[in-house]
Every structure is written in C-alpha cells, then in structure tokens.
A and B are shown apart, each in its own frame.
Chain A
Amino acid sequence: SQQGEEDPQALSIQEGENATMNCSYKTSINNLQWYRQNSGRGLVHLILIRSNEREKHSGRLRVTLDTSKKSSSLLITASRAADTASYFCATASNQAGTALIFGKGTTLSVSS
C-alpha cells in the first residue's frame, strides 16, 4: 500500500522557474526522504529530513516537514531541463525494519 501521496501528479514549468511538490503521509515517521527517478530507471536519493527537523536545504533543493499535518514539500529553485524526472517522497516509520514507503510520485517536466 502507498503511504505518501504527492501533489500535484504532474507539473510542467519553464526553465528558471521554481517547482514545488507536496507529500502527505499517514503514520508517524522516523524520517522522510525525497528521491528522483529518470525515465523508469533506478531512484536517486535527494535529501532526508528527520522528524525533529522542520526545514533542510541542499543546493537548489529545499524541503520542509510539518509532522502535525503529516506533510512535506520539496522546492526546486531555478529549475533546469535536466530536472525533468519523477519525484517521490518516501517515509521510514518508527516501527521495526527500514522499509521505505513511497508515494505515487510527481512527474516534473521542465522545458527550455
């Protein structure tokens, strides 16, 4: 079953614009991670935010986490054509095991 739900499902923007994707989840978490997937290939880890953190930056990426609302957002600033990909949020629960539970993803298309 999917835990996270990303919103929007698809997003089309121009190069240089910012892209914002949102993720909601259902259960308590240890951390939340964002991954990128190009053309149905393997997933690449982008950023991890722990449950006691509210905001984290990495290069052009900014992630926020609101555990009271069980939601997170990923902001990509000054987007490039190379950012075109599917983006997934994944949660790691506080329960035993380290399986990640993924949402259905947001497909981002950046045109030049």
Chain B
Amino acid sequence: ETGVTQSPTHLIKTRGQQVTLRCSSQSGHNTVSWYQQALGQGPQFIFQYYREEENGRGNFPPRFSGLQFPNYSSELNVNALELDDSALYLCASSLELRKETQYFGPGTRLLVL
C-alpha cells in the first residue's frame, strides 16, 4: 500500500455529464499527478499540481481540470463527458518536484455510457 487513496473506486456516468474524482496524497507529499489509462494502454499524463498550482499539462482538452488543496489532496474534474473518457484514472503523489518515484493510488474506474 502506498498511502495514496482515491475515491470513488468505480463510477458510471452518461455522455455530457460532469464528474469529480478525488485523491488523497501520501503523507508529506506536496506534488500530485493525474493519469488516464485506457484499456490495454499505458497511463497517459493529464496534469500535475505542485503546492496548489498547475505545474504541467499533457495533451488533454480544457474540459479536464484540476485542483489541489492546502492539505495537498486533489480533484480531477471532467466536464461534458465523452464515451472515450471511459478509463482508469490514476493519481500519483511525489515529494517536491523530484524526478523520482511516484506513488500511485488504486485508481477510479470511470465508465461513460
């Protein structure tokens, strides 16, 4: 167990709806990254937050947005859901912006119908 938790574990939404996924970082970690993993693929980087500021973003549209709170927990929001948004969403925490090990949560599996 990494100490990173995510909620909910599973979620079913319909196309056009909005969803919020939550992540609680490992104790002491102030950096959180979000990844999308489609079935049979490797995780793809969505964005990263460091001390409540977005620190980098992958190739995802603006309807994917995020927040990091003072306690370093984080949210991923997706608006106007599309069928292709169905995936496992992983958050990972790390210490300071080091290019080192990231500690992953168990993920939230989102199904868009």
Q: Which residue numbers of A lie inside 8 Å of B, CB to CB?
A: 1-2, 4, 30-31, 33, 35, 40-45, 48, 88, 90, 92, 96-105
**Chain A CB within 10 Å — which of B35, B45, B92, B99 has the most?**
B99
* A40 and B2 alpha carbons, distance in the complex (Å): 16
Q: B106 to A97, Cβ gap below 8 A? A: no
CB contacts (< 8 Å) of B94 on chain A: these are: 98
* Chain B contact residue count (CB 8 A cutoff): 32
Q: Which residue numbers of B lie inside 8 Å of A, CB to CB?
A: 2, 4, 31, 33, 35, 40-45, 48, 55-56, 58-59, 88, 90, 92, 94, 97-107, 109
Q: B48 to A43, Cβ gap below 8 A? A: no
Listed by A's residue number, 15 A-B pairs whose Cβ atoms lie within 8 Å are A4-B42, A30-B99, A35-B104, A42-B106, A43-B43, A45-B104, A88-B42, A92-B99, A96-B56, A97-B55, A97-B56, A97-B97, A98-B94, A98-B99, A102-B44
